[in-house]
Amino acid sequence: MPARARAVFLFLSLCLATSEAAWREPTRAPHAMVASTERIASQIGVDVMKRGGNAVDSAVAVAFALAVVYPAAGNLGGGGFMLIRQDDGRATAIDYRETAPRAATREMFVGPDGELLKGEDSSVLGYRATGVPGTVAGMALALKKYGSGKLTWEELIEPARKLAVDGFVVTHRTERMLADQKEILLPFADSRRIFLREGKLYREGERLRQPELAATLGRLQKKGAREFYEGETARLIVEDMRQHRGLITPEDLREYTPKERVPLRGNYRGYEIISMPPPSAGGTILLEMLNILEGFDLKKLEPFSSDYYHLLVETMRRAYADRAEYMGDADFVSVPIAGLLDKAYAERQRTTIKLDRASRSSEIGGGKPAGYESTQTTHFTIVDAAGNAVSNTYTLNGWFGAGVVAKGTGVLLNNEMDDFTSKPGAPNLYGAIQSERNAIAPGKRPLSSMTPTFVLRPDGSLYFAIGTPGGTTITNTVLQVITNAIDHGMNLQAAIDAPHIHHQWQPDEIQDEPLGLSPETRRALEARGHRFAPNPRNMSDLQGVMIEEKTNVRLGGSDSRQDGAAVGY
């Protein structure tokens, strides 16, 4: 083992000695791999590929399965982003992000006193917080254009429908999530009945069945994806909206359309990076940060040293200031993507970083790029036997979204309206401050941090695919996996399990993880003027697949912080 790899392993074993899983090797498989936050969903995805399906077929089956077995974030009533890379190297991005309803207005969450509304009138709870869902339409578009053609829509939904009928065994994590989030679900009758059993909370080992969701999945199987937007499911959603002052109308559902977009591309030390364009801020900010860091010789720094983390924080601070200032839905506002990704701009940003002391966020605003052009989410990554790859992040936004199950459907609805700028200068659910560019407008898609990403080797072959939930921490977490792998030579599992930090410009503080930074590293950063958030917390549920260079073996990595699994064959 090389000296640097030994040092990395030693540090991980010292700082992450909470379980043997923290430094396990990646899962190995000769043909194909699925990494997701639930083993049962990963296995379903593998079974699809064993039957002749490709990575996109598998992704559709996994997405529907997670809607059943991971109700906190897996969904039919939310939206997200799918990045696809075909075995011939072509890549595309499918944006199935939610949209604001027609009746949405710029200040709909601001009261007469000028303050943000609370409770069921707020942007985070109840029917008015819900954007028009995109997941079902997004999966249908992906399958139609990029599926293998060997498995039907009906066949790919069947494992999820069967799980909803038969139920799944509640894990300790699911028990804990339902207990922790019960206040979100309690106000809404179907949510309370399905997930809280009218106060008799589910315990680990019990079986959770969802017959209404099974019926919805059955309708989708028989009548296709448009049933969700124009059929009985749509009627039930709209009727429930009408009963509870929600905004979504038949026209909103009927007119929802996912969009295929051109992925963003950049390079870092000879490796090509492919990631999401707006309305996700993730790809733009990721590439901007990599451009800044490229000017520093990170290989000379110890991977968990104060010098390394200082450069990360200062880079994050500047990029997230740009995120707050410039990012929004590029279909509605001008976003200076080319300027933000310009290497010369990164050089100007880099020169403002002092190596011996922290900057103050109050002194740093958005930079001046030239020209113009959630934590509570879930991600899965798939690579098939031919080399097709999918990196997919989708969400309800907060855990269990708006808390609402649309009556008679079993479908949890998102609270994605909170990802708009409800009031400029006021932080959202994740503490993010955003600009007028992300203001609410009918049909507009809210800004996101989701960062599904592919990293290619210098020869153009797929190195790995990666993504994570985590709200505004997503982009920074993906950034650290990339630098861990490229700069520090970590294997995929070690790169995922290594300690993460997060800084998002405002609030001006470093978020770290329990048992993450060593006391010496923390003190050294504080000596330079950095401040830490008062409560460390885990920030990721990374799911990745790497292709081993010489053997072509698939290497799966699933975050040891959570209960997910990489499954291959």
What's the pLDDT tens digit per position in 235-249? Answer: 999 999 999 999 999
Residue with tokens 């009727």: 239
Taking CA atoms, 341 is separated from 335, 408, 482, in Å, by 11, 47, 17
Residues 6 or more apart whose Cβ sits within 8 Å of residue 51: 150, 151
Residue range 328-335: mean pLDDT, rounded? 84
Angle, helices 55-69/211-223, rounded to nearest 10 degrees: 150
Q: What is the pLDDT of residue 496?
A: 97
- CB 80, CB 450: distance < 8 Å: yes
What is the DSSP code (8-state) at residue 262? P
What is the DSSP code (8-state) at residue 473? G
Residues 6 or more apart whose Cβ sits within 8 Å of residue 328: 278, 279, 335, 434, 435, 437, 438, 447
Q: What is the pLDDT of residue 423?
A: 65
DSSP letters spanning 350-365: HTT--SSS---GGG--
Q: What is the pLDDT of residue 372?
A: 34
Q: What is the pLDDT of residue 334?
A: 84
Residue 387 to residue 32: CA distance in whole angstroms: 8
Tell me the per-residue pLDDT of 84-121, one tens digit each, with 9 for 90 and over. Answer: 999 999 999 999 999 999 999 999 999 999 888 998 88
Residue range 454-471: mean pLDDT, rounded? 96
Q: What is the pLDDT of residue 427?
A: 57
Residue 436 to residue 424: CA distance in whole angstroms: 6
In sequence order, the β-bridge partners of residue 462 are 456
Residues 6 or more apart whose Cβ sits within 8 Å of residue 359: 314, 317, 352, 353
pTM of the complete model: 0.92
Tell me the per-residue pLDDT of 147-163, one tens digit each, with 9 for 90 and over. Answer: 999 999 999 999 999 99
Taking CA atoms, 350 is separated from 290, 320, 344, 371, 507, in Å, by 11, 14, 10, 19, 21
Q: For residue 79, which amino acid is it? A: G
Using a pLDDT cut of 90, give the percent of the chain over it. Answer: 82
Residue with tokens 């290594």: 498
Helix (H), strand (E) at residue 467? strand 462-467
Taking CA atoms, 549 is separated from 260, 389, 458, 461, in Å, by 30, 16, 12, 9
What is the DSSP code (8-state) at residue 110? B
Q: Is 159 left (phi over 0), alpha (psi -120 to 50) or beta?
A: alpha
Tell me the per-residue pLDDT of 430-447, one tens digit each, with 9 for 90 and over. Answer: 455 555 778 899 999 998
Q: Which two tokens stand for residue 487?
A: 């700069």
Q: Which two tokens stand for residue 344?
A: 């010369």
Q: What are phi and psi of 359, to 5 degrees?
A: -75, 170
How does strand 79-85 pair with strand 389-395? antiparallel
C-alpha of 513 from chain center: 19
Residue 401 to residue 185: CA distance in whole angstroms: 9
Residue range 393-408: mean pLDDT, rounded? 96
Q: What are phi and psi of 311, to 5 degrees?
A: -65, -40
Residue 338 to residue 349: CA distance in whole angstroms: 15
Sign of CA dihedral 33, 34, 38, 41: negative
Q: Which two tokens stand for residue 238?
A: 């709209």
Q: Which two tokens stand for residue 5?
A: 């790899």
Query: Which pLDDT band holds residue 367 (cuts at 50, 70, 90)?
Result: low
- CB 544, CB 381: distance < 8 Å: yes
| Distance in angstroms between the alpha carbons of the first and the last residue of the chain | 28
Omega cis (within 30) before 187:
no
HEC profile of 433-463: CCCHHHECCCCCCCCECCCCEEEECCCCCEE
Helix (H), strand (E) at residue 93? strand 91-96
Q: What is the pLDDT of residue 376?
A: 77
Residue range 255-263: mean pLDDT, rounded? 98
Which of 135, 175, 146 is CA-nearest to residue 377?
135
Query: Which pLDDT band holds residue 375 (cuts at 50, 70, 90)?
Result: low
Give the three-class secondary structure for 171. coil
Residue 471 to residue 142: CA distance in whole angstroms: 24
Query: Which pLDDT band holds residue 213 (cuts at 50, 70, 90)?
Result: very high
Alpha helices in 354-486 (DSSP H): 474-486
For the chain, how many helices (H) and strands (E)? 19, 18
Query: Which pLDDT band holds residue 326 (cuts at 50, 70, 90)?
Result: confident
Q: What is the pLDDT of residue 215?
A: 98
Q: Which two tokens stand for residue 204?
A: 């680990």
Catalytic residues: 377
Residue 275 to residue 372: CA distance in whole angstroms: 19
Triad 420, 428, 426: Cα angle to 5°? 95
C-alpha of 540 from chain center: 9
Residue range 474-486: mean pLDDT, rounded? 97
Query: How many of the other CB atoms lie within 10 Å of CB of 15?
Result: 18
Query: Which pLDDT band holds residue 185 (cuts at 50, 70, 90)?
Result: very high
| Residue 6 in this model has a pLDDT that exceeds 50 | no
